[in-house]
Amino acid sequence: MGIVNLTPDSFYDGGRFQNIDDVINYVVKIVEEGADIIDLGAISTRPGAKEVTLEEEESRLMPVLKKISSIFPDIIISVDTFRSQIAKMAVNNGAHIINDISAGNFDKDMFSVISELQVPYIIMHIQGNPLNMQNNPVYKNVTTEVIEYLSEKVEILRKLGVNDIIIDPGFGFGKTVEHNYELLKNLEYFSIFELPILVGLSRKSMINKVLGTTPENALNGTTVLNTYAILKGANILRVHDVKEAEETVKLLNSTNCL
């Protein structure tokens, strides 16, 4: 899954695109590099990110989504949003997947809208919200609590007739560095759901705080953690660097260990 941030303030690549043509050229590049899914996001969810209105999210997202879906009808497009209204607009204009960092917590109508739309739905664990999630996150047992949280969401969704669910443990969303590595170490436990597991480790602070790097030079650390995640059962890598992630998967496949 190749990340396409349509935001001016994302932690790594905010403000990369000046116009729609820049976005299209970038999408062409990452598809050629091996991206199976394009994940469009119009709101930064980095720690401390400022709130964005629905109207602003729509104005950033919809022109790009419409253009990409018309030019590349075969590309699978995911839209990263926690708003049900945006989810509905997105699917009606060419999106195939909704990626919700809040798993329905930020919009009470999201689950019913997903049930109506019948599209694949990514649910992620988060403690708090982007404004406060890194203010001293606390767990008794982070792996158990994240699994219980996702289990409750999956149960509700299945009762609503939503069965095409992808789970995301939410690395970096309301978790300390130690919490993140504990989750990664125990990633195989999430196979209990018998659902695809998505991981978003790309250039995150859990790498930088250990290695003393910045997001700009955290590619090597990202590749190491992506490799480990795949070996632990991850099915989808959400990444900024598609070429390197694709090479990681190819090399692991060559070892016949997957």
What would the DSSP string read from start to end of 190-239? GGGG-S-BEE--TT-HHHHHHHT--GGG-HHHHHHHHHHHHHTT--EE-B
* pLDDT exceeds 80 at position 10: no
Output the pTM of the full model: 0.94
Residue 107 banded pLDDT, cuts 50, 70, 90: very high
Share of the chain above pLDDT 70, in %: 96
User: Per-residue pLDDT averaged across 201-206, rounded?
Assistant: 96
Alpha helices (H) along 16-141 = 20-33, 54-71, 84-92, 110-117
- pLDDT number for residue 14: 46
Quick one: CA torsion of 69, 71, 74, 80, rounded to 10 degrees? -30
State both tokens at 215: 């997001």
Residue 15 banded pLDDT, cuts 50, 70, 90: low
User: Per-residue pLDDT averaged across 211-223, rounded?
Assistant: 96
Report how far residue 54's alpha carbon sits from residue 88's, in angstroms, rounded to the nearest whole number: 13
User: Per-residue pLDDT averaged across 46-50, rounded?
Assistant: 72
Selected residue with higher pLDDT from 23 and 169: 169
Rg of the chain taking only CA atoms, in angstroms? 17
Told to judge if 238 belongs to the known catalytic residues of this protein, a careful annotator would answer yes
Contacts of 220 by beta carbon, 8 Å cutoff, 6+ apart: none
User: Per-residue pLDDT averaged across 204-221, rounded?
Assistant: 96
Residue 41 banded pLDDT, cuts 50, 70, 90: very high
Residue 112 banded pLDDT, cuts 50, 70, 90: very high
Closest CA to 123 of 106, 140, 139, 135: 106
* Active-site residue, selected from the candidate residues 204, 209, 232, 243: 204
User: Per-residue pLDDT averaged across 64-82, rounded?
Assistant: 95
Residue 16 banded pLDDT, cuts 50, 70, 90: low
* pLDDT exceeds 80 at position 239: yes
| 96: DSSP letter | -
Residue 48 banded pLDDT, cuts 50, 70, 90: low
Q: Helices 219-231 and 177-185 sit at what angle, rounded to 10 degrees?
A: 40
Determine contact, residues 86/64, Cβ cutoff 8 Å.
no
Q: What is the mean pLDDT of the chain?
A: 94
Told to judge if 108 belongs to the known catalytic residues of this protein, a careful annotator would answer no
User: Per-residue pLDDT averaged across 133-137, rounded?
Assistant: 87
* pLDDT exceeds 90 at position 181: yes
* Active-site residue, selected from the candidate residues 140, 238, 243, 250: 238
